[in-house]
């Protein structure tokens, strides 16, 4: 298994600091957030970590350069998460960890690897429970037990099939790259990872795993402050 960390986004919700500092490099104590995610990938057993960056985010490269298990690929245009993942195409199971999503309190990725083993190596998507009134902000799971039947992007409360949301971690077979290559742009004109996974669901089983930790989205200032508090409380 190899890990892919997409970190090529524009970070518009965190301007102006993201003009010079990638949001993924904001400090959580003495470490950049991205290093905590790299640590999580290693703890899960990834033997190579591919970080997807873009022009202007070379600080990431400078920081991690020389670490033998890490390599970098560029996403030249920000065409969405699915497109970013495709730039890192590998011929192995892919553990995808969003570069601006921290999980405090557990090693989500490591636990997902165990869950996948329990399901014969099937795909596993890391999830969190969200308050009913907030389902319209997330990708929401339609489940049969823990098997994923479908995923609905940002549903209205009355249409949400559950309160279980996609939460920044995916363990997917190499076959996902085939679906990404033929994926047409979706919401916002972007190549969405969720759309490719939905197509995969018609041919392969995938399972949702609600990890015990708390996801912190550091893609905006409020989320970042919350992450700092959560880490302080946890350390
Ligand atoms: P986000 O949508 O949260 O990041 O993507 P963004 O595009 O930087 O956000 P805003 O809206 O401009 O503030 C989640 C993760 O996927 C990466 C981001 O870097 C982030 O870590 N991403 C997103 C890419 O690598 N490429 C993309 O085209 C989009």
Structure tokens at 172: 């997917």
Identify the three-state secondary structure at position 188: helix
pLDDT per residue as tens digits for the range 58-117:
999 999 999 999 999 999 999 999 999 999 999 999 999 999 999 998 889 999 999 999
Asked whether the whole model's pTM tops 0.95, one would answer yes
Contact 89, 24 (CB under 8 A): no
Instruction: Tell me, using a 6 A CB cutoff, whether residue 218 lines ligand 1.
Output: no
DSSP 66: T
What share of residues in the chain are helix, strand, coil (percent, to 5)? 35, 30, 35
pLDDT per residue as tens digits for the range 20-57:
999 999 999 999 999 999 999 999 999 999 999 999 99
**Averaged pLDDT, 123-129:** 98
Could you give the CA distance from residue 147 to residue 124 in angstroms, rounded to a whole number? 9
- In this structure, are strands 94-97 and 206-210 parallel, antiparallel, or unpaired? unpaired
pLDDT per residue as tens digits for the range 163-203:
999 999 999 999 999 999 999 999 889 999 999 999 999 99
Quick one: pLDDT band at residue 233, thresholds 50, 70, 90? confident
Whose Cα sits closest to atom 1 in ligand 1? 9
Instruction: Tell me, using a 6 A CB cutoff, whether residue 10 lines ligand 1.
Output: yes
DSSP labels for 11-26? -GGGTTGGGTS-GGG-
Whose Cα sits closest to atom 21 in ligand 1? 99
Pocket test for ligand 1, best of 15, 21, 59, 81 (most atoms within 8 A of CB): 81
Enumerate residues 6+ apart whose C-beta is below 8 A from 84: 6, 8, 9, 52, 75, 78
Determine the distance separating the centroid of ligand 1 and the alpha carbon of 9, expressed in angstroms. Answer: 4
Residue 227: per-residue pLDDT? 97
pLDDT beyond 80 at 235: no
Q: Comparing C-alpha atoms, which of 132, 204, 198 is closest to residue 161?
A: 132
């Amino acid at each position: 298994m190899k890990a892919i960390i997409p970190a090529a986004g524009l970070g518009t919700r965190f301007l102006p600091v993201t003009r010079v500092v990638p949001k993924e490099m904001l400090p959580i104590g003495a470490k950049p957030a991205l290093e905590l995610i790299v640590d999580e990938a290693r703890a899960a057993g990834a033997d190579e970590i591919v970080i997807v960056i873009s022009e202007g985010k070379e600080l990431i490269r400078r920081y991690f350069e020389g670490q033998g298990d890490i390599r970098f690929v560029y996403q030249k245009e920000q065409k969405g998460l699915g497109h970013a993942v495709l730039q890192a195409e590998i011929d192995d199971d892919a553990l995808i960890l969003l570069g601006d999503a921290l999980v405090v309190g557990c090693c989500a990725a490591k636990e997902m690897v165990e869950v996948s083993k329990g399901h014969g190596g099937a795909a596993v998507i890391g999830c969190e429970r969200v308050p009913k009134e907030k389902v319209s902000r997330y990708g929401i799971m339609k489940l049969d037990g823990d098997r994923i039947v479908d995923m609905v992007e940002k549903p209205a409360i009355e249409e949400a099939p559950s309160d279980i949301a996609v939460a920044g971690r995916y363990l997917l077979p190499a076959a996902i790259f085939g679906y990404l290559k033929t994926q047409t742009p979706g919401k916002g004109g972007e190549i969405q990872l969720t759309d490719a996974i939905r197509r995969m669901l018609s041919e392969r089983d995938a399972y949702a795993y609600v990890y015990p930790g708390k996801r912190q989205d550091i893609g905006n200032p409020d989320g970042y402050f919350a992450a700092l508090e959560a880490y302080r409380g946890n350390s």
